[in-house]
Amino acid sequence: MTSTRLRGRPLVRTSYAQDMSLLNTPAKRRSTILIIIVSFLVPFIVTDDLLLVLTLGMISAVGAIGLNLVTGYAGQVSLGHAFFIGLGAYTGAVLGGDTDASVTGYGLPIYIWLPAAGVVAALAGLLVGPIAVRLRGLYLAIVTLGLVFLGDHIFRESRSLTGGPGVGRRGPDLVIFGIDLEESGVVLGLDLAREQRQFFMALVFLIIFAVLGRNIARSGVGRAFSAIRDRDVAAAVIGVDLTKYKVMAFAMSSFFAGVTGALYYAVVGVFEPSAFGLLLSVQYLAMVLIGGVATISGAIMGALFISSLGRISGEIAHVLPFISESSSGSGLLSVFQLEAILYGVLIVVFLIFEPRGLFGIWTRVRNYWKGWPFSY
C-alpha cells in the first residue's frame, strides 16, 4: 500500500509508518523546527550567567532522558542514577583531564573520553541489569539505592582518580574540532563568549540524544519496554525476553547517564565525590516525574526546570524577606534549604495534581486550543 498524505487532513494516516514517524503532524514539524531555531538564537539574547544555567540544564536533560528510558518507559525504578553519572564523570575526567600533583589524567581528546564515559557507565548498567531481572518494584529501588552508597564509597577512596572528598579534581578539557570551549574568541565568523560556545555544544548534544532517545522509544525496543512496564508477565507471554530487555534498559539508561556526567562536570570544572549522593538521584527522578513520565520532551522540560530551580529560589529569596541569601543567615530559611524544600514540595504536588507532569499541562493546553472555540 502506498502511503499518501491528504492535504488539510493532518491527522489522517494511510500507513503504519506514518503513524510511528518521528514528527507525525505538520504542527509538530513546524514547532520543532521553530524551537530549534529559537534555541540557537537564545545565546545572543540571554545574559551569560543565565546561559550557564540553561547549558547545565540541557546536559542534565540527556541524563533525564536516560532515566526516563529505564524508569518511565521500562518501569524499573532506579535510584542509582547518580552512581552511573558519577562513573561517567570520572571516566571522562580521567581520560580527558590533565595529570597534576594528586590525580591522574590522560588528556585524550573528546571523541575518546565522551564515548568511553558512556560505555563504562553502560557496562556497569549491564552488571546491575541481572539484579533487576530478579527483583521488582520497591526491592529494586532499595537495591539501586545501595548502589549509590557503594559508589560513593568507591569514589571517596580512589583518591588517585577522584581527588578524594573535600579536594576533588577538574573535569575533562572541552576542546571540540580544535575549538577550546573554555575560552572566548571568534568561531565561524562569530565572536562567541565561553558561555555561548558551551551552550551551543550542549544544545547539539541534547538534540542528538533526544532524537536517539525518541528513536529507542518508538522502535520495537521501546515498545518492549512499555510492555514490561505495563505488565511483565503479559509481556513475557507475548514473547518479550524480560532478561534481555531489562538489561538493555539499564545499559542504555546508564550510557546516557555516563555522557551526562562527563559533559556536566567538564562544564562545571572542579567537582568532588560527594556530588554523587542520593540527592542527585532524587533530583533526576524529580526531573522525570515533574517533566512527564515516559516522554522525551517531558524529560527535557523537567531537566531545564529542576536545573533552574536554584536560580528560581534565589529570585524568590530577593522577594521574600524571611529567606536569607547565605547558608548561615539569620532568616527563617536559607536559599539552599528553600531549594531542597521546593524539590520535595514540587514532587509531591506534581504527583498529586498532575501525574503526567509538565508534559501533561502542555497536552491540556494543546487540546484546549485544538478544540477552540469549542473547548469545554
Partner 1 sequence: MTDFLQAIVNGFSQGSIYALLALGYVMIYKATHVISFAQPALMVVGGLFAYHFTSELGMPFWIGMLLAIVCGAVVGMLVERIALRPMLGKPVFTLAIITIGVDIVLRIISNRYIGVQSRIVEYPGGNERFSIGDVSISHQRLGLIAVTTVTVAALALFFRYSRTGLAMRATALDQETALAQGIRVGAVFALAWAIAGGLAAIAGTFVAAGNAGIEQTSWIIALKALPAIIIGGLDSVQGAVVGGLAVGIVEALTATFQPDVAPWLGANFSLVAPYALMFVVLLVRPYGLFGTKEVERV
Minimum distance, C-beta of residue 111 to partner 1, in the bound complex (Å): 33
Q: Which of 77, 262, 306, 358 binds partner 1 (CB under 8 A)?
A: 77
Question: Is residue 157 close enough to count as binding partner 1 by CB under 8 A?
Answer: yes
Strand 323-324 to strand 333-334: parallel, antiparallel, or no bridges (unpaired)? parallel
Burial of 175 (0-12, 13-18, 19+ CB in 10 A): middle
Residue 375's DSSP bridge partners are: none
Minimum distance, C-beta of residue 12 to partner 1, in the bound complex (Å): 36
Q: Which of 123, 135, 179, 361 binds partner 1 (CB under 8 A)?
A: 135
Minimum distance, C-beta of residue 274 to partner 1, in the bound complex (Å): 11
**Binding window for partner 1 (CB under 8 A); candidates: 31-39, 86-94, 145-153, 166-174:** 145-153
For partner 1, the closer CB: 139 or 368: 139
**Binding window for partner 1 (CB under 8 A); candidates: 44-52, 196-204, 243-251, 346-354:** 346-354
Which three cell numbers mark 218?
518508538
Question: Is residue 111 close enough to count as binding partner 1 by CB under 8 A?
Answer: no
For partner 1, the closer CB: 321 or 373: 321
Among 147, 146, 94, 150, which residue's Cα sits nearest to residue 120? 94
**Binding window for partner 1 (CB under 8 A); candidates: 51-59, 86-94, 107-115, 328-336:** 328-336
**Binding window for partner 1 (CB under 8 A); candidates: 177-185, 186-194, 257-265, 335-343:** 335-343
Q: Which of 27, 36, 150, 365 binds partner 1 (CB under 8 A)?
A: 150
- What secondary structure does DSSP assign to 46-103, as a single string? S-HHHHHHHHHHHHHHHHHHHHIIIIIIS----S-HHHHHHHHHHHHHHHHS---SS-
Q: What x-and-dash track marks residues 265-294 binding partner 1 by CB under 8 A?
A: -------------x---x--x---x-----
For partner 1, the closer CB: 75 or 92: 75
Q: Which of 50, 145, 179, 316 binds partner 1 (CB under 8 A)?
A: 145
Which three cell numbers mark 17?
509508518
Q: Under a CB-based contact definition with an 8 Å cutoff, are residues 284 and 82 in contact?
A: yes
Q: Which of 344, 365, 366, 370 binds partner 1 (CB under 8 A)?
A: 344
Question: Is residue 139 close enough to count as binding partner 1 by CB under 8 A?
Answer: yes
For 240, which DSSP code? -
Burial of 91 (0-12, 13-18, 19+ CB in 10 A): buried
Among 303, 261, 285, which residue's Cα sits nearest to residue 79? 285
Minimum distance, C-beta of residue 344 to partner 1, in the bound complex (Å): 4
CA distance 85 to 255: 9
Cα 310 to Cα 213, 306, 316, 358, distances in angstroms: 27, 8, 10, 18
Which three cell numbers mark 7?
492535504
Distance of CA 308 to the CA centre of its chain: 14
HSE at residue 193, side-chain half, CA atoms within 13 A, is 11
Binding site for partner 1 (CB under 8 A): 77, 131, 134-139, 141-143, 145-147, 149-150, 152-154, 156-157, 233-234, 237, 278, 282, 285, 289, 328, 332-333, 337, 340-341, 343-345, 347-348, 351-352, 355
